[in-house]
Amino acid sequence: TLSARLEYHRSSALKIARLLENNDNVLKVLHPALPKNDNYELWNKYFTGSTGLFSFILKEQSKNKIYKMIDKLKLFKLGFSWGGPVSLVMLYDLKQMRSLSNTHLQQGLLVRFCIGLEHPEDLIQDIQNALKQLE
């Protein structure tokens, strides 16, 4: 069942990444399979698919609002993973990072999603409800 699960992770993550690309609170979505990604052409040349792991950078917000947004997520657990059945979320303050050579990554807060096997429409609804905390 591995290939079926990986395809489900991939398609769900891509659907969610596309949704986030059009959100006013999101500065940049970091997913290689999106045509707006800086490295899309390289990804498209060398890879045949993607994974359920991607990140996005939020526009400047107070940390308190971001924490409330993360806490509002009901289907995402806090944690680190490279894949698994449960969707996970982690928050990174890019200003605290040791070294960044890319200027677009030197601002804002980065949210990393690892998309699990939950129904993508349920995850989308959960994310949309959480993003309302930023308004």
pLDDT tens for residues 41-75?
A: 999 899 988 889 999 998 878 888 999 999 999 99
pLDDT digits (tens, 9 = 90+) for 99-132: 555 555 556 688 999 999 999 999 999 999 999 9
pLDDT at 103: 53
Predicted pLDDT of residue 53: 92
pLDDT attached to residue 132: 92
Q: What is the pLDDT of residue 92?
A: 83
CA nearest to 76, candidates 29, 125, 17: 125
Structure tokens at 96: 């605290």
**Would you give the DSSP letter of residue 59?**
P
Q: What residues have CB less than 8 Å from 99, skipping those under 6 apart?
A: none
Q: What local confidence, expressed as pLDDT, does residue 81 receive?
A: 74
The pLDDT value recorded for residue 101 is: 59
Q: Find, among 99, 79, 98, 81, the residue nearest to 89 by Cα.
A: 79
Residue 123 pLDDT = 97
For residue 98, pLDDT beyond 60? no
Q: Structure pTM?
A: 0.87
Q: Taking residues 30-47, what's their average pLDDT? A: 91
pLDDT at 33: 93
3 state DSSP class of 50: coil
